[in-house]
Amino acid sequence: MFDSLLFYLMITLVVGIASQWTAWRFRLPAIVVMSVAGLLIGPLFGWFNPKDVFGDLFGPIISAAVAIILFEGSLNLDFREIRTVRQPIRRIVTIGAFIAWIAGSLAAHYVAGLSLAVAFVIGGLFIVTGPTVILPLLRQAKLKPRTAAILKWEGIVVDPFGALLALFAFELIKFFTGEVTAATFINFLFGSAFAVVLGVVFGIGLGKALEKGRVPEYLKSPAVFVVVIACFTIADEAMHETGLLAVTAMGMVMANMHISSIKDMRHFKENISILLISTIFIMLTASLTRETLMQIFDVHIIAFVLIMLFVVRPLSIWLSTVGTDMTKQEKTLVGWIAPRGIVALTVSGYFAQSLFEAGYEDASLLTPLTFALVFSTVVAHGFSIGWLAKKLDLASTNKPGVLLVGGNTFTAKLGKTMQDLNIPVLVADESWQRLHSARQSNLPVYHGEILSESTEYHLELTPYEYMIAATSDEAYNALVCSTFVPEMGRVNLYQIAAGPERTETTKEFNKTVGGKVLFDSSAHYQALTSRAADYVFRKTELTERYGYDKYLKEIDENTLLLFIVKASGKLAFYTRDVSPKGEAGDTIVSLMPPVKEIAKAKEKIAEQRRDQ
């Protein structure tokens, strides 16, 4: 009853997404959870082996998924992002990759015991990191943009070159052993060049078609999806393992054409990639055998992994970046973080079989060697990246920040109150004049249009988990919130009402477009800016003796409850639909009449009169 291809596909998808959710819920590295889940359902409990279940479809599914993931990653490679780190990235993906290849190959030969021929093939493959493992780690660690850009670009650019370098070494071996002629070797070089040209042509052609309206809006994402598969397949059929190079070139070309609809496509592809990464990791780890798992405990394999972690990777980064502007902290972090992922696992299987058939019996060690390195790096780097980044001051602050869009009296005083609570805050507005109040309060400001494409490259959004759109234009507030849904999530986006009354149509409008409307029905733009001028922003800490209910009874009836700073550092805002409840250890921030200040002023005047 439950022994069908569809059932096993469903199990794979469910386990993959459940792993992602578990990682999010308990703040664990997603790639570690996915790897463990795959091992549990595969070799450990033996529920099913995806390679046996999917049969001939297993390879094409993996290849197509990797192509889409790599293309999605390369869509983020806009050259404007790396203006300040162009030299380090160029050095790392060239000199650094070469050093890693030579050092890794020598380690595989002298430590793992592989023959020189097999060692140089697998050494080339092990220079890859890739978006399947790097991007989840970057989302988890919230690194500063500069460091994140270096790791992201290295992972995506080197990914196809690792497979290509391994193929180059393989062809070189066959050339020196007389299995192929010089003409065959030259064909390999032409095949690589053809893949790059094919990717550029497909990228330019598709990009222009999208920009000129040759593809209707509803077909854009499906069309891109199909063209990516076509580009990968044609290149891979022309020469094995060059498809990854083609889709990377295609994605980079489209990313730098600055197509107006590229952002929508990027979000669609990112969602697909998350699903594919989850599925592929489960399929690959579940396909391993118990014999393979036992082999990774061989002392030579363990020693090889340790050398790759603590010698080869740091050495390649530190040597290749000599003379660049990378700091010691950046070199230390980048020199440690290099998790291997899907490409290493999939391509090593191809070379293991090819080399074994060519007479290299030690090629049988490639699968356990690769899995040992993949699993060790995803675990070690997955659990350490956040801690190390904080130690090196390369991660954003622990406390979630707030981005206030709209410069006015209310946002200036609200931002100052948040700053006093050690909450990272930034006030953004395209008008320098409207930012006057915020600047007078010594708040960080961003002078520019928040919806501009250039904002992505000039404004560091990583520290800000929440956004409040607080301008006098309600439609603009809704547009801002809708635009940042993919980056911040709809639950963290808020806006204020522009006018005193909201029609039923507007209420419905905000359920599907825009952010959640803050505060009560009286808290529209005019009222908030007016109250901010006369009222006081009060911070009240709740205790076991002075609880939330007692606080509500004692406050003035004109008090406007704004938000609660939870003991964990999270923020809970009061909205039209939700009123969070405070607990001991929380701090409530409210906007209330200056009753205490007036009472103190009267008391002071009375004392002065008595003294006279």
Q: Which positions ≥6 away from 472 have C-beta within 8 Å?
A: 406, 408, 498, 525
pLDDT, mean of residues 312-323: 92
- φ, ψ of residue 588 to 5 degrees: the values are -95, 135
Cα–Cα distance measured from residue 493 to residue 124, given in angstroms and rounded to the nearest whole number:
45
What is the β-pairing status of strands 536-541 and 571-573?
unpaired
Measure the CA–CA gap between 19 and 31, rounded to whole angstroms.
9
pLDDT in tens, 74-102: 776 666 666 667 788 888 888 998 999 99
Strands 560-565, 516-517: pairing is: unpaired
- Range in 258-262, 483-487, 602-606 with the lowest mean pLDDT: 602-606
Apex CA 425: angle with CA 424 and CA 429, to 5°? 155
User: In this predicted structure, what is the pLDDT of residue 453?
Assistant: 61
State pLDDT tens for residues 46-66.
Answer: 888 888 888 888 878 888 887
Q: Which of 71-80, 153-162, 245-254 has the highest average model confidence (pLDDT)? A: 245-254
Q: What is the pTM of this model?
A: 0.68
Write down all domains in the chain, each with its CATH number in brackets.
54-272+307-391 (1.20.1530), 401-602 (3.40.50.720)
- Give which of 157, 257, 244 is closest to 206, Cα–Cα: 257
Euclidean distance between CA atoms 383 and 385, whole angstroms:
6
Per the model's pLDDT, the better-predicted residue between 136 and 334 turns out to be: 334
Q: What is the pLDDT of residue 503?
A: 43
**With 50 as the cut, is the pLDDT of residue 504 above it?**
no
Q: Mean per-residue pLDDT for 97-125?
A: 89
- Please give the residue that has the higher pLDDT: either 130 or 502: 130
Task: Please check whether residue 194 is in contact with residue 238, taking contact to mean a CB–CB distance below 8 angstroms.
Answer: yes
For residue 605, the model assigns a pLDDT of 60
Confidence of residue 482 (pLDDT cuts 50, 70, 90): confident
Please answer whether residues 428 and 445 qualify as being in contact, where contact means their C-beta atoms are separated by less than 8 angstroms.
Answer: yes
DSSP for 304-369, please give it.
HHHHIIIIIHHHHHHHHTTTSS--HHHHHHHHH-----HHHHHHHHHHHHHHHHTT-GGGGGHHHH
pLDDT of 265 higher than 70: no
Mean pLDDT of 322-350: 83
Grade residue 597 by pLDDT with cuts at 50, 70 and 90: low
pLDDT of residue 177: 65
User: pLDDT per residue over 172-196, tens digit each?
Assistant: 777 666 665 667 667 777 888 898 8
Which of 140-144, 501-505, 534-538 bottoms out in mean pLDDT, i.e. has the lowest? 501-505
% of the chain with per-residue pLDDT over 70: 86
Q: What angle do CA 264, 505, 268 make, to 5 degrees?
A: 10
pLDDT of 507 strictly over 60? no
Residue 203: partners with Cβ closer than 8 Å, 6 or more residues away = 249, 250, 251, 252, 253, 254, 257
pLDDT above 90: residue 140: no
Residue type, 600: K
Beta partners for 36?
Answer: none
Please, is 471 exposed, middle or buried when counting C-beta atoms within 10 Å of its C-beta (0-12, 13-18, 19+)? buried
What does the block give as tokens for 400?
């979630």
3-state helix, strand, coil in the chain (%, to 5): 65, 10, 25
Mean pLDDT score, 152-168: 76
Question: What per-residue confidence (pLDDT) applies to 247?
Answer: 87
- Which of 111-125, 477-491, 540-554 has the least mean pLDDT? 477-491
Give the length of the chain: 612
Percent of residues, the chain, with pLDDT higher than 90: 15
Q: Which range, of 47-51, 158-162, 402-406, averages the lowest pLDDT?
A: 158-162
Residue 469 pairs with which residues in a beta bridge? 405, 495
Residue range 14-28: mean pLDDT, rounded? 84
Contact, 559 vs 593, CB < 8 A?
yes
Closest to 12 measured CA to CA, from 51, 68, 44, 64: 51
Q: Is 404 helix (H, G, I), strand (E, B) or coil?
A: strand
Greater pLDDT, 43 or 182: 43
**Averaged pLDDT of the chain:** 82
Residues whose CB falls within 8 Å of the CB of residue 368, separated by 6 or more in sequence, listed in order: 292, 293, 295, 296, 298, 301
